[in-house]
Structure 1
Amino acid sequence: MSDIGVRTVVYCGQHRSHADEFELWPGVTVRPVLPFNMDGGDPYQAPIYHLARIIDILRRGADESDAVYVHDSNLRFEFIASGKPLVRGVFDLFYPHTLAGVIQSGDARLVANSDYVGNCIKEALRRFRTLGDNALRVVNTGFQEPRFRPGNVNQMRDRLRLPEDALPILYPHRPDPTKGIFESLAVVQLLRKRLHADQFRSVRLLVSVWEDFEPGQGIEGLGEPYPTVFRQAAELGIADKLHLHSWVPRHDMSNYYALGAATLSIGTFPEAFGHVHVESMLSGTPAITSRVAAYRTTVPEELARKVDPTDVEAAADQLVEVLGRRERTGAPLQDHLRDKFGFERMLDGYSHAFFDHAEAREGPFTGVSVPVAAGTRLRIPPWAAALDSGYYNDYSGYAMDKRLEECLPFILASTTVETLKERTSVSESDILRWLRNGHLLSLNS
């Protein structure tokens, strides 16, 4: 924003190590002065006089500004905008503060960071309010492509103390069950029977450690989840394949990605965008992703390697192909990533979202949802998908419902409640249950 002459003031939580104000960049001032609870947990768990002070500070800031932007939609006091244009960025649909901000967006303009998030917002809010033409923008996350051109890969190998003959499989996520750490361990274990013994001997799964960590250090002294991860690896007989290393700074990530033979992003966390797979592919390293949330739609199926959630057998098969071919990302995929997720394109999108003067007035509330009628149309929501492995909901997993699976061909072809009941054995109570569980959407004529 400063490059186009916009003066920005960033307000954030108080931090003992910073002064009241500092210049982050020419034209960008940071004021870490808001007395939120900064000790973990709910930031709003603070004395009421601190919350009142936050409101006072932000009202003065808004009064001195032309527009107000709330990052990740996590401010509960939107009235501080004092009539100025208010923009809320939406970077997930998982954490409570973001969900509350989206639901209560009022006259704010919402900016979703992916097509997936934008579609989910539209379908969720449609139940109780309409969205005006200017109320929601989708600005896909952008990447500075030159930053992902690898430099000295050998230096990265030395820094991680990785053996010269090691075949690195990357897991550049926090070691959280929903991020796919245990699926990744299972995939490595399955490689034992799929690779030649000499090649399997070289395989290493690279896992970063958030705490202070020296290369070659054991897990002694590390907190959870690392001991649990190591125990699982030992039970699978692949403890020697687990290579822990210290956190890699952002400016070195291109070399880290380029070092890998492949990147695994096979968790079940409902990512709103998911940076890792795009960054890896921009760096030349194929990524294997699960068909969950934004991973399902960010890159077309024909350009990327995808597997159904928790399908470690398919992930192992994909990985064997990548290793056997010594595969790197091809030109069509690179072109797609540069075109759709270019950094300049993202900046242009945010610029329009901030400074386009078209109003984003709150749409009228719709009538209270009525029970399904014979003519009610049923469809699959953007947070769910009919996959080869079953019907999958990004927030609750596989539906495991034979009746629902029986109905999918009709629902995919667009059907009404009446037609579905005539052609299948389902009852209205089945349909109501699927609607309550978020497996289906209803649309009354």
Structure 2
Amino acid sequence: MKLVMFTINPLFPDQVMGGAQKHLKHIAIHLGELGHDVIVLCTQRADSIDPFQWHERVEVKPTFRFKQPFPGPYDTPAYNLAAAVQDMAEHLAQADRFYMHDGEYLFPFVYRHIPTVVSLRDNVYPETMLGSFLSHGDALIAISEYSRQFYLHTAGRFFPELKERAIVIHNGIDWERFKPTVPNEILNYVDVDPQRHRILLHPHRPEPSKGLQQTLDVVDLLVHQHGISNLKALIPQWLDVGISADLRAYYDDIRHQLAERNLTDHVVLHGWIPQNLMPQLYSLGDVMVSLGHFVESFGNTVYESLGCGTPAIAARISTHRELLPDDLLDKVHFDDADRAAAIAAEIIRTKRRTSPETMSYLHQYYGIERQLKAYADAILHTPPKGPMTYQFAPLDDRTRYRLSPWCYEWEGGFYHDFRANHTAIPALSSLIRAHPDGFTIANADDAKVPHEHFDRWYRQGYIAPAMDL
């Protein structure tokens, strides 16, 4: 078959800027190895203009002129949008199937004539959110059950057929690569001595929601309260730092904070690490942290680190609540630096590594072979189904509500993934306990909950109409 793939991000011959691009490369090469001809269309930028090959049957074409750097790719002149329609239409005219890797090609009329599979790779960026309402693919791939529920409880409220089209294919990790690895070449990229230093890893993009501030709070506690005076925290600088004034200002602020907190000698801001050296980076660490509130659709780094033997501490946000049981991954409530630092100190002092039970679970459920087989089956065999039908159901006295899947309750209140805070709402707690299958406005009236409070819970996203799933 002739397959066309799309990502709104720039791609490179030998660098990977994030987990989504890495998985796209694996999927494209796998389909090429199965004998299909694959063209991957992406956004071009100054350092990625010319076509290149990922495989003899996989050609990558930096074609589109969406705005760079991210975010706001559609903040571009209309003639660039018109070209995006023209270029895609010309490629699809010669194709058998279309795979949209990130749900961010927002012109559904261009691909309605061709079997289309859409993978929604995040729960956050506006283009993906719009794509979930606009991209009427014949199959929709979510990469966790959390993400599937998120889309069913939002776009799925108006397109009931989404329930039948939405499938879960977990990200797969190549455990032949992501395994305990002797650090060697990585020491040319990071200024640490594993014999003298205890090493904390923060291998994330620079956006604040990825938790750099929370990581610095933990580093501060480890050095100044737990007495780990030889700690080095490794923090990457984003590839775009040379072309983005905002990023340069961001890192200048971080350096200022480090000086104020007497942490300059304990944090290493290093260059972006080539993908082939990531197993060495993970293996170099004593502990890895992922403490931000970014509403992950999977969160690769946590599980890659564990696969390389280095324990991870994850904030109890979005998918990290579900992908590993609590006894196989250290989890903390968001912004609990004291608890995260206590766990990190214990891991460092006891030299704890990934448990055999955790490693076995990862290999059983999150292997790359399972992922690639499932993607190939979806892309190659999903039959055309046509656009989904919009349906509107009024919210009335019979509507049942439940706690939204992006919230959870604990003794500290309700945590809301998209508000990134913990809030005590005793009346909502009582309603949920009294009506575990869902509650109506009448139930709230019986509990003396004012209508404006109930409406506020709905408008702020704490509750959502119960879905028949």
Q: TM-score, normalised by structure 1?
A: 0.88
Following TM superposition, by how much is the alpha carbon of 1:295 offset from its aligned partner in structure 2, in angstroms?
1.9
The structure-2 alpha-carbon separation of the partners of 1:146 and 1:272, relative to structure 1 and needing over 3 Å to count, comes to same
Give the Cα–Cα distance (whole angstroms) in 2 for the partners of residues 166 and 201 of structure 1: 9
- 1:11-22, aligned counterparts within 5 Å? 11-15=41-45, 21-22=51-52
Please state if 1:130 is matched with 2:155.
no
Residue 367, structure 1, aligned to residue 392, structure 2: yes
Using the alignment, how far apart are the partners of 1:358 and 1:112 within structure 2? Answer: 18
SS of 1:303 mapped into structure 2: coil
User: Counterpart of 1:33 in structure 2: which amino acid?
Assistant: T
Q: In the alignment, what sits opposite 2:430? A: 407
Task: Kindly indicate whether residue 299 of structure 2 is the aligned counterpart of residue 274 of structure 1.
Answer: yes
Contact 1:176 1:225 in 2 (8 A): no
Distance 1:444 1:85, change over 3 A: closer
* Separation in 2, partners of 1:358, 1:161: 53
* Compared CA separation, residues 153 and 34, structure 1 to 2 (3 A): closer
Find the structure with the greater CA-based Rg.
1
Evaluate the alpha carbon distance shift between residue 299 and residue 94 of structure 1 in structure 2; reply closer, same or farther with a 3 A threshold.
same
Aligned with residue 451 of structure 2, among 428, 431, 435: 428
Pairing partner for 1:106 from 136, 139, 147: 136
* Partner of residue 216 from structure 2, selected from 185, 205, 210: 185
* Aligned residues of 2:412 and 2:422 also touching (Cα < 8 A): no
How far is 1:72 from its partner?
0.5
Aligned mate of 1:31, from 58, 61, 64 = 61
* Structure 1 residue 132 displacement after superposition: 4.9
How far apart are 1:48 and its partner, in Å?
3.8
Shift of 1:102: 0.8
1:12 and 1:34 in contact (8 A); partners too: yes
Is 1:174 paired with 2:205?
A: yes
Letter in 1 for 2:100: V
- String of CA shifts for 1:396-445, please: whole Å, max 9, x gaps: 122524344543652673342334443x4422321221111110122389
Choose the corresponding residue for 1:208, options 211, 226, 236: 236
Structure 1 pair 165/158, CA: closer, same or farther in 2 (3 Å)?
Answer: farther
Amino acid at match of 1:178: S
Q: 3-state DSSP class of the match of 1:69?
A: strand
The range that moved more, 318-327 or 283-292, is 318-327
Query: What amino acid is the match of 1:189?
Result: D
Q: Contact 2:416–2:462 (CA<8 Å) still a contact in 1?
A: yes
How far residue 240 of structure 1 moved from its aligned partner, in angstroms, is 2.2
- C-alpha contact 2:432 2:438 (8 A) present in aligned 1: no
Match of 1:300, as an amino acid? P
In 2, are the aligned partners of 1:172 and 1:276 still within 8 Å (CA)? yes
Whole-angstrom distance in 1 between the partners of 2:152 and 2:389: 14
Aligned letter for 1:436? Answer: R
- Give the Cα–Cα distance (whole angstroms) in 2 for the partners of residues 249 and 107 of structure 1: 34
Number of matched pairs: 431
Residue 384 of structure 1 pairs with residue 414 of structure 2 = no
Amino acid at match of 2:199: P
Q: Please name the residue that 1:152 is paired with.
A: 182
Q: CA deviation at 1:180?
A: 1.3
Query: Quick one: distance in 1 between partners of 2:179 and 2:136?
Result: 42
RMSD: 2.6
Matched, 1:398 2:398: no
The residue that corresponds to 1:59 in the other structure is 89
Question: In 2, are the aligned partners of 1:134 and 1:359 still within 8 Å (CA)?
Answer: no
> Which TM-score applies when normalising by structure 2?
0.84
Instruction: Say if 1:323 and 1:48 are closer, same or farther in 2 by CA, change over 3 A.
Output: closer
Identity of aligned residues (%): 27
- Residues 28-61 of structure 1, C-alpha deviation per residue, up to 9 Å, x if partnerless? 1223333444566644444444433332222221
Tell me, which stretches of 5 or more residues in structure 2 are unaligned?
1-30, 242-246
The residue that corresponds to 1:309 in the other structure is: 334
- The question of 1:351 aligning with 2:382 is answered no
Q: Distance in 2 between matches of 1:117 and 1:280?
A: 22
Provide the C-alpha distance between the structure 2 equivalents of 1:13 and 1:147, rounded to a whole number of angstroms.
29
